[in-house]
Amino acid sequence: MAETPEGPREPLLILFKKKKVRVHGGGGAHGGSWKIAYADFVTAMMAFFLLMWLLMSTNHGDLVGIAQYFNRPLQAVFQQGPGAAATSAPMAPGPVKEEQGQKDRDTLENLKAKIDALIRSNPKLAPFQNQIKVDVTAEGLRIQIVDDKDRPMFDSGRAVLKDYSRDILKQIGVALNGVQNRISITGHTDSLKYSAGEAGYSNWDLSADRANAARRELIAGGMAENKLVQVRGLADALPLVRNDPSNAANRRISIVVMNSESVGRLLRDDQTSSVQVGPSAPLVLPTQAVP
């Protein structure tokens, strides 16, 4: 014991405390990392089953709308508002679409039978049976009035209908009012170059003018004007007799009673253009005003 002026001093004791430190993590049986991994797994499984439940409870039309939105999100936002495309599909899906397609086919087949009977029985149409071709295509019921080398619909290089051509179109115009379907009219020429008239006028202009002449006669015959959805001229781009582009039969007027799918496709394709399509504004190709 050390001596001090104040007296003896107690000895200094130094104590050491051993502290046990628990290390979290690691691979021991009492580590905590497995809890984090397990929580992540449970969260992922919950998200998976939630997604599966949503897919099972969402109808097919909504799924198609959602897919359309992600394919063309900007168009959906600007044209229909945010989220609108996610709940609406461009065409009726699944069984509804099939039912509509079958209804269209039945309607057009019935119309074809009526027009075939009309052509045979009507004295104004019967002489032209070989020039009036009626068939059902992917677009709808197609009625083609083709030229004969001895009996053309128009004078060469002109868009004025012959008197018998007017009679044919007026009779067909009456028949077309028997259905609600929309109508497309296309003018075609042969491959012979247009050489008369003003400079720059071509078979494209001539075919479009002839299509519009046919439109006027169909309406004069009683067809409702608001049934029209398209009037166009295709010149000689789609010949009827492919191995003989100059054949008289390539000069024709094609009237299509369109099915729901072809009308929907036409209107959807036109959504991004500046051309108005509707009952009051037929689409005319090439671009020109409907006279």
User: 134 with 232, same domain?
Assistant: yes
Decide if 92 contacts 61 (C-beta within 8 A).
yes
Of the candidates 66, 87, 108, which is a domain's last residue? 87
User: 65 with 190, same domain?
Assistant: no
User: 77 with 190, same domain?
Assistant: no
Give the pLDDT of residue 74: 55
Give the pLDDT of residue 37: 86
The structure tokens listed for 155 are 């004078």
Measured distance CA(291)–CA(278) in Å, rounded = 17
Chunked mean pLDDT (size 10), the chain, 291 residues: 60 65 55 81 90 78 69 54 43 64 87 91 90 92 90 89 92 87 94 73 92 94 91 93 91 93 81 44 41 38
Give the pLDDT of residue 148: 86
User: 81 with 154, same domain?
Assistant: no
Q: How many domains does the chain have?
A: 2
Q: Do the domain assignments include residue 10?
A: no
User: How far lies 261's CA from each of 22, 98, 275, in Å?
Assistant: 72, 11, 20
The structure tokens listed for 264 are 């929907």
Q: Do the domain assignments include residue 151?
A: yes
Domain holding 64, by residue range, is 33-87
Of the candidates 65, 87, 109, which is a domain's last residue? 87
User: 184 with 223, same domain?
Assistant: yes
Q: What is the pTM of this model?
A: 0.60
Give the pLDDT of residue 286: 43
Measured distance CA(7)–CA(3) in Å, rounded = 6
Decide if 140 contacts 259 (C-beta within 8 A).
yes
